[in-house]
Amino acid sequence: MDYLEGLNDAQRRAVLAKDGPVSVLAGAGSGKTHVLTTRIYHLVRGGVPPREILAVTFTNKAAREMRERVRALLGDGKDVPFIATFHGLGRELLESYGSAIGIRRFFSVYDRDDSEKAIAAALKALDISTKELSPRAVLGRISRAKGEGMRASEFHEKYGRSSFGARIVAEAWLHYEKALKAEKALDFDDLIAEPVRLLEEHPAIRATAQGRWRYLHIDEYQDTNKLQERLAGLLAEKHKNIFVVGDGDQAIYGWRGAKMENILNFDKKYPEAETIVLERNYRSTKNLVDAANAVIEKNKNRKEKYSTTENGAGDPISIHAARSAEDEARWIAAKIRALIRDGVAPEGIAILFRTNFQSRALEEGLLRAGIPYKLLGTRFFARKEVKDALAWVRLAMDPSREADRMRAASSPPRGLGKVTLGKLAAGQRALLRAGELAKVEQFERVVDELARAAQTLASSEFVKLSIEKSGIRRALLEEGSEEDRERFQNVEELVSIAVRHDATPGKEGIALFLAEAALASDQDEMDQGERSGVTLMTVHAAKGLEFDTVFVSGMEEGLFPHHGMGSEDARDEEEERRLFYVAMTRAQKRLFLTFAHVRTIYGSESLTEPSSFLADIDRSLVVYDGTEGNDIFI
């Protein structure tokens, strides 16, 4: 069995563990995907028909990679097991057996925009203004409840007489369910919830599905929520051949409803389970592995696991303190330019950041240095919330701008629909009904107030006022979901940009700010889809990737670890520490950690403290790169 050659003892045990429940605790860089695909190949070689093997993961990219690896092992022309995301599995179950619960074979699926529009319609039917409760926030609450396994009727029974917000969510959910049924559609959460209902309510179908897939594999098990874990349990109930791979130390999606306990307590659910720990790191240098161990071992809620490596010591970790976020970006750009000059490929370099708003200064630094880059996710000035805020600023400067008027009137929503706005654009104001006219006049009063303020205010103060008067602050920060509150930090970053032009008060200063934003937007809107270069992304987006060299910016207390936007949203520090562990273990050879002494947030300069996580790294593994005397902070 030459395919077993090159595997270490723990990897070989995992591949050869054929029957019964198996839990593989796979440390960063330990070759878990190789183990999982080799194990599938071993089952087929041992006589298990591919059609009886199921493998589930979380992203289309991961599923595609796993499928390609298995196909390469099996050879051309051979059947490949069913390998899909959880949502892909759910769709397959419903298309095959969903008629038993009234779901037609070719159903449609609502995307997020469809769902938000349906929720907005539900709120309107309840006579609730989207100013009072945003559709995004309502949808987030519903999604979380569905992930916990709740149905609309159960949620309504539990919260129908609760607080105002919960009561409205309960009522809106019932309306939303009716809308989905009328359209014969499901949303993304239903692709998990409905298969669970199907299997629980129909034992014959459950038995058929269990016979169809006798061997079940689940990747990234620490990221499963309550309902996904139930779905896996239902499929594995008869044969108990469930093989899960994951790492509690990389559980970073608790805020989405993921339950790290699913992997930590796997042996309690399956007492006969074999547990295998993959501790050898093939990715990173010894210095990086030792530093990551030192960080993650401070967490108490984890399975004991200590990564080792046979790689060389490598470079020490570099820590750099900058005066400001702009200085930090300039230093990173200069360091990258030097690395590229020394032969490091730009594609092998990544800059990671904790929150999206940090990307603006980093992008600017790379552009000024002429370093090609690609930003995973939406570029700063292309983000919806940023475009919304800029539309309000431009409209106040020139109320005749029809495109900005249309955008501002619906961002945030204020009950001005397309028909109403269309009448206004066509000069048919006289055709507006009394209710429509009242909403239009209220909107126009806000625009007029901002237009007057633009005459005298400094640009940063004017941007702040626009964010406040438009309702963007309230919609995102006060009424929005956790995701919305992080999006608000992008809007705050606009104020920090506007501060640069405060020396020129009134419309001239605001015009300079808008010109800067427009110029950056032109740069951002270049097609970078196939462009090579340095990669910028959030740490969350970097999970599962690896790079020769990694920069982690913004290593400041309150930013990383992130302390949330208020006491109710305070992040779990152990999850923040796991997130830093993920960031560190993306690096193969070099890791740079940077922070700024001063960071401008919402137009105000604030003194910062270095992240408490930096103190967890042994001094022997660190150098202070261009930051003489900064060891006093560590």
At residue 503, does pLDDT exceed 60? yes
Q: What span, in angstroms and rounded, lies between the C-alpha atoms of 523 and 24?
A: 45
- Amino acid letter at 620? S
Rounded to the nearest angstrom, the gap between the alpha carbon of residue 267 and the centroid of all alpha carbons in its chain is: 29
Is the distance from CB of 243 to CB of 216 less than 8 angstroms? yes
| 289-298, 541-550, 564-573, 612-621: least confident range | 564-573
Ramachandran class of 170: left when φ > 0, alpha when ψ lies in -120 to 50, beta otherwise: alpha
CA distances from 241 to 17, 219, 478 (A): 10, 14, 47
If 0-12 CB within 10 Å is exposed, 13-18 middle and 19+ buried, where does residue 271 land? exposed
pLDDT digits (tens, 9 = 90+) for 442-455: 988 999 999 999 99
Q: What span, in angstroms and rounded, lies between the C-alpha atoms of 269 and 511?
A: 62
Q: What span, in angstroms and rounded, lies between the C-alpha atoms of 321 and 306?
A: 30
The whole-number pLDDT of residue 618 equals 92
If 0-12 CB within 10 Å is exposed, 13-18 middle and 19+ buried, where does residue 304 land? exposed
Non-local CB neighbours of 310 within 8 Å, separated by 6+ positions: 280
Positions annotated as catalytic residues are: 32-33, 219-220, 250, 586
If 0-12 CB within 10 Å is exposed, 13-18 middle and 19+ buried, where does residue 373 land? buried
CA triple 495-497-500, angle to 5 deg: 110
pLDDT digits (tens, 9 = 90+) for 327-380: 999 999 999 999 999 999 999 999 999 998 899 899 999 999 999 998 887 667
CA triple 234-236-240, angle to 5 deg: 140
What would the mean pLDDT of 286-312 be, rounded to a whole number?
94
If pLDDT is split at 50, 70 and 90, which confidence band does 486 have? confident
Block residue for tokens 């900058």: 322
Q: Is the dihedral of CA 465, 470, 471, 472 positive or negative?
A: negative
Q: Partners of 331 in the beta sheet?
A: none
pLDDT digits (tens, 9 = 90+) for 308-317: 999 999 999 9
The whole-number pLDDT of residue 16 equals 96
At residue 525, does pLDDT exceed 70? no
| 3-state SS assignment for residue 534 | strand
Q: Is the dihedral of CA 394, 398, 404, 409 positive or negative?
A: positive
Nearest CA-CA partner of 128 in 408, 410, 415, 417: 415
If pLDDT is split at 50, 70 and 90, which confidence band does 527 have? very low
Give the helix, strand, coil percentages of the chain, each rounded to 5.
Answer: 55, 15, 30
Name the token pair of 230.
Answer: 């139930």
Beta-sheet pairing, 604-607 with 598-601: antiparallel
The whole-number pLDDT of residue 197 equals 94
If 0-12 CB within 10 Å is exposed, 13-18 middle and 19+ buried, where does residue 612 land? middle
| Strand ranges (E), 354-403 | 373-375
Beta-sheet pairing, 622-624 with 317-322: parallel
pTM, two decimals, is 0.79
Is the distance from CB of 366 to CB of 333 less than 8 angstroms? yes
Q: What span, in angstroms and rounded, lies between the C-alpha atoms of 150 and 371?
A: 49
pLDDT digits (tens, 9 = 90+) for 80-101: 999 998 988 998 999 899 999 9
Q: What span, in angstroms and rounded, lies between the C-alpha atoms of 629 and 359?
A: 28
pLDDT digits (tens, 9 = 90+) for 211-265: 999 999 999 999 999 999 999 999 999 999 999 999 999 999 888 788 999 999 9
Full DSSP string of 573-611: HHHHHHHHHHHHTTEEEEEEEEEESEEEETTEEEE--B-
